[in-house]
Chains A and B, each alone.
Chain A
Amino acid sequence: MTSVLAGVAIAVTSGLLGWFVVLRRQVFAGDALGHVALPGALAAAVLGVDVRLGLLVATVGLGCLLALLGERARADDVTIGSTFALVLGAGVFLLARLAAESGRGGAPARRAEDGAAAARSLFGSIVGIGRADALVATAVAGGVAVAVVAIARPLLVASLDPDRAAARGVPVRLLGFVFLGLLGAAAGQAGQAVGALLALGLLVAPAAAAHLLTRRPFLGLTLSAAIAAVSTLAGLGISAVAAGVPGSAAVILCACLAYGAAALLGRLGRAPVSRSAGRRRPPSSRCSAGTPPGAGSGARRWSRPAGPRAR
């Protein structure tokens, strides 16, 4: 029961943050932060520190690092890729080290056990979360969710039009920094629930579905959180009924199905919607870069003109 509660809390947080991740096109950063949970957890295991702590330190740390490396606290995709290849590489070392340490006992069976442990940290298991862990996860997820809601409005303005936001005195760089830090915390939590590799799904799939269904920010945020929570419940239900289906995979597949359904709905409903809401957005495709300025108020405009290229 507590694990279901934790799963839903984590899903809601991921849904909220994920909405901004998709809006700010930081999907790749979210992916990298999710993956970092693996070496974080492994490093904690090698050092003998609490695994949850290692996981959070690693994800929040990398979030801040990516914010530092990027211009205006948004990292470039090559930087993200190289950094996270490095981090996963470190994970491989730690994995081998752990295997070697427990392998000193001599039995190959223990090695297989380590493989299973590694697979668990990669792919997670919601059902396996203990009561105390679940309570901590719920608390952290709740804190992150409250923080996101608190900064939602300035973050929205800063994401949609950084120049205008900066001119109005919104601390764009600081917000980017805080956002990546929060994203790190959320990815760490999601990593605990569905695993380091699948955290991305919980962050992106419900949010992408919400973006397809509505462009109103606060409705979208709510919808994203709701889709994430419902997919988590449905996934857990499926894995409880069908033996052999891992819970994390079921959760992610449910979220991806929601995205597929939203894409279908969007395609079916596009013609009437664009007629009735024509004044709100230009009739061109939904994410054309370079929407003419003044095509909607700042908050309603979906796409930003492409920023200056880094190199």
Chain B
Amino acid sequence: MLAELLAYPFMVNALLAGTAVAVTAPVLGWFVVLRRQSFVAHTLGVLAFPGAAGAVFIGLPAAVGYYAGAVTGAAVLARGPDTAGESARTGVVHAAALACGLLLARLYSGMLPQTTSLLFGSFLGISRAQVQLTALVGVLVLAVLAAVWRPLTLVSHDRALARSRGVPVTALDTLALGLVAMVVAAASGVTGALLVFALLVTPAATARCLTSRAVVGVPVAVAVAVTVTWGSLAAAFVTDTPPGGYLATASFVAYAAALVVGRVRR
């Protein structure tokens, strides 16, 4: 079974890229959950869609568009904490992005079958170069996170205290969103733009139900994400369906179980 799975190069590529994303995304997701930026993260994921559609429209590879779209979105949205006006603006950017994506996809025309794979992911089209890019982005993001871990934790918990201590709050906010954009773009290739959540937020939320200590929680989140990714890619291979559905379902099951366990222990 395993040997049969690994006999296909595209499957090996998918597993490698999936693992790279599954190791990186939950670490960053820990902060996304802490900072309550799920909606912003989702919006960045969605921005990858017009990015990719636009890139294909002008003849560039879709991967370039993923990154360009998500990073542009982070630059637009990087403005402090989530208040009422803020989340409304995020929503407007979100809707505008989807509308632009649709417009570009329609203008390009003939991209309709690909639209679903942009939105819901695919394990077939991952090239060796994409695996390398994903791994590179993962290492980069983890290195930056390790460097700013303590100040970023402080900013996420208590902005006023961080500011009074001279921590560059705005710069860290922007940096965090930029990192989310990079990871979301990397994950979009595997899970699709709409289901990035399943790897970014849900595993971290699962871990946070069980513990609030990062030393324990982050490894738990990574373990959940890696298990879920491998399982879903295998299931997708066997049943010939997009892996996004299995990913979302499996990580939701983990989250629900952790929620129940957390309630019971408390």
> Residues on A close to B: CB < 8 A?
22-23, 25, 27-28, 30-31, 35, 77-78, 80-86, 88-93, 95-96, 111-112, 115-116, 118-119, 122-123, 195, 197-198, 200-205, 207-208, 211-212, 244-246, 248-250, 252-253, 255-256, 259, 286-289, 302-303, 311
Nearest CB in chain B: distance from A21 CB, A:
9
Q: Say whether B112 contacts A256, CB under 8 Å.
A: no
Interface of B is mostly: helix
Question: 4 tightest CB-CB pairs across the interface, nearest first?
Answer: A201-B95, A89-B248, A92-B245, A204-B91
Set A207, A289, A311: member contacting B83, Cβ < 8 A: A289
Residue in A23, A28, A195 with the greatest tally of chain B CB atoms within 10 Å: A28
In the assembled complex, the Cα of A20 lies from the Cα of B84 at a distance in Å of: 11
Set B36, B96, B195, B242: member contacting A256, Cβ < 8 A: B96
Give the total number of A-B pairs whose CB atoms are below 8 A apart: 187
Q: Say whether B99 contacts A198, CB under 8 Å.
A: yes
Q: Say whether A252 contacts B91, CB under 8 Å.
A: no
> Closest residue to B33 on the A side, CB-wise?
A78
User: Which one, B20-28, B114-122, B171-179, B182-190, is touching chain A?
Assistant: B114-122
Nearest CB in chain A: distance from B23 CB, A:
19
Q: Given A25-B84, A289-B83, are A90 and B95 also a contact pair (CB < 8 Å)?
A: no
Q: Say whether B247 contacts A204, CB under 8 Å.
A: no
Additional A-B contacts beyond A78-B36, A92-B248, A123-B102 (11; CB < 8 A): A28-B87, A78-B201, A81-B39, A82-B201, A93-B241, A198-B98, A201-B98, A204-B95, A211-B88, A246-B102, A287-B84
Q: Given A82-B201, A245-B103, are A92 and B241 also a contact pair (CB < 8 Å)?
A: yes
In the assembled complex, the Cα of A77 lies from the Cα of B208 at a distance in Å of: 14
Q: Say whether A80 contacts B38, CB under 8 Å.
A: yes
Q: Say whether A85 contacts B85, CB under 8 Å.
A: no
Set B86, B212, B252: member contacting A85, Cβ < 8 A: B252
Set A96, A115, A201, A208: member contacting B112, Cβ < 8 A: A115
Q: Say whether B198 contacts A85, CB under 8 Å.
A: yes
> B67-103 interface mask toward A, CB cutoff 8 Å, 1 = contact, 0 = none?
0000000000000000111111111101110111011
In the assembled complex, the Cα of A252 lies from the Cα of B246 at a distance in Å of: 31
User: In the assembled complex, which residues on chain A have CB atoms less than 8 Å from the CB atom of B241?
Assistant: 92-93, 96
Set A80, A256, A288: member contacting B95, Cβ < 8 A: A256
Q: Given A30-B91, A255-B95, are A119 and B112 also a contact pair (CB < 8 Å)?
A: yes
